[in-house]
Amino acid sequence: MEASEKASMEIWLHKNTYHPAAIRKYAKEYVDFRSIALHQQGKHLRRHFLFSDEDIKSTICKWIQNQRPESRSLIEVKKYIGGNILPRKLGISGNTSTSTIWKYLHEWGYVFKKNSKDIYYNGHEREDVIAYRQKWAKRMMVYKKKMAAFSENEETVVLPVLRSDEIEHVLVTHNESTFYTNDGKDVMWLIEDENPIRKKGPGMSLMISEFKCVCHGTMARGAWSSREVFRSGADRDGYWTSADILKQLKNNVIPLFELIYPGCKAVFSFDQSTNHKAYDQNALISSKMNLNDKEIEDDDPCFLQDTVSDS
């Protein structure tokens, strides 16, 4: 014991318990076998795990992002992996442990935490967002060369210089705003132990969907306006969907634009809301397809179409 500790101090120049113990272990091994086995650290085969694949990671992360935040859970991710990823990649059904899913969700940047209302991360600096923004900006600069501009004092309209085969472009922006009545009082006369249960929410609302251009502000000609007022609510006009915005464009905004800007082309700019990125009702979307055969009811909002598979 004393000899091993002394040898350890002479070689490593600091005192610890591991080095003397290792010297004694190797000395015993040499006495017994007249040799010391080579150290095996770092010589084991590193296995490639399925979730380390970038394509699989991207597929799972996209699926998670398409789920509502409150419905995301380890169990739901486990079901998706077992029912979609493993059969497609390995041709088998599997059972991935929740601890493994937890580990990789953390590795992919997800954190299980309480939602905080005072912090919002917009993701503007994500690589895919930057790449999309650069492509979008280049496309808009091409359109800008075909649009009218204003002089430095904003008093004179400078028309674009166009070739004979080019058409003047006009930027039309869209925005939606919701206004609430806020008719619930925060302060009222109550007796000491009185605590009435009040309705949640800020009250009834009106949603305004409107299109604007640089020259006119709100696009309008006389009483004809691009503005649409929608009375949101289950017992009122319902809820604003992609079908409503398409109806407003087709029946109101585009005819109004053609009246105000005859011979010009509109460049419509929308924000990235779910309504503005919606697919057509008969689009082939895997999340809306039945996994197994089923009988279609008369009121079932599904659309069937002929499909050809290469397999």
Name the residue type at position 177: S
What integer pLDDT is reported at residue 277 of this predicted model? 75
When comparing pLDDT for 311 and 92, which is higher?
A: 92
Average pLDDT over residues 131-160: 88
User: Is residue 299 very low, low, confident or very high in pLDDT (cuts 50, 70, 90)?
Assistant: low
Helix-strand-coil split of the chain, %, nearest 5: 35, 15, 50
With 80 as the cut, is the pLDDT of residue 308 above it? Answer: no
The secondary structure element, H or E, covering residue 139 is: helix 127-144
User: Is residue 292 very low, low, confident or very high in pLDDT (cuts 50, 70, 90)?
Assistant: confident
What integer pLDDT is reported at residue 186 of this predicted model? 66
User: Is residue 268 very low, low, confident or very high in pLDDT (cuts 50, 70, 90)?
Assistant: very high
Report pTM.
Answer: 0.54
Residues belonging to the chain? 311
- The pLDDT tens digits for 40-69 are 665 555 555 777 888 888 888 888 888 887
Asked if 264 and 172 count as a contact pair (C-beta separation under 8 A), the reply is no
The secondary structure element, H or E, covering residue 25 is: helix 18-33
- The pLDDT tens digits for 68-99 are 877 888 888 888 888 888 888 777 777 888 88
The secondary structure element, H or E, covering residue 268 is: strand 265-269
User: Is residue 30 very low, low, confident or very high in pLDDT (cuts 50, 70, 90)?
Assistant: confident
DSSP-assigned letter for residue 147: B
Cβ atoms < 10 Å from Cβ of 214? 14
What integer pLDDT is reported at residue 150 of this predicted model? 82
- The pLDDT tens digits for 172-206 are 999 888 888 877 666 665 656 657 676 777 778 88
**CA–CA gap between residue 187 and residue 197 (Å, rounded):** 14
